Amino acid sequence: MPSLKYEGGSVELDKNGYLASINAWNEAVAAAIAKREGISKLTEDRLEVIKFLRNYYIKFHSFPLLKMVCTNLHKPKTCASRPFKMDPLKAWKVAGLPNPGEEILVYLQGPLHPEE
């Protein structure tokens, strides 16, 4: 199993780059995964979305509708796409969540910025 070094240690990833243990996550791990995924900086806005995804998954064991993320964070409805500039699949990985499965992968790989 591949591992990822971060400031403070290392964590194991699965073959697709998802954190092997959801409990190994912290903000330093998130920053290392983000860097691995090509995301230069985890801003406060990005971390807020990532933490929402993580908490939602822990509570409901599912992926939230993207519109729900912004509504629950009291942000504009495009908070998870346009200003965030991180695709939802990368956000899921940075949140330290397990491989979401084929159905969610198809949903997440849809248009990133649909015209409204």
Q: 48 vs 13, 55, 72, 105, CA distance in Å?
A: 23, 11, 11, 22
- What is the domain count for the chain? 1
Residue 8 lies in domain: 3-108
61 or 67, greater pLDDT:
61
Q: What would the pLDDT profile of 93-103 be if each residue is shown by its tens digit?
A: 999 999 888 87
Confidence of residue 63 (pLDDT cuts 50, 70, 90): confident
Per the domain annotation, does 114 fall within a domain?
Answer: no
Q: What would the pLDDT profile of 74-91 be if each residue is shown by its tens digit?
A: 887 777 666 556 678 888
Per the domain annotation, does 90 fall within a domain?
Answer: yes
Per the domain annotation, does 37 fall within a domain?
Answer: yes
Mean pLDDT across the chain, nearest whole number?
A: 85
Q: Which residues, at least 6 apart from 3, have a Cβ–Cβ distance to it below 8 Å?
A: 10, 11, 12, 13
Confidence of residue 115 (pLDDT cuts 50, 70, 90): very low
Residue closest to 29 by CA, chosen among 51, 46, 58, 4 = 4
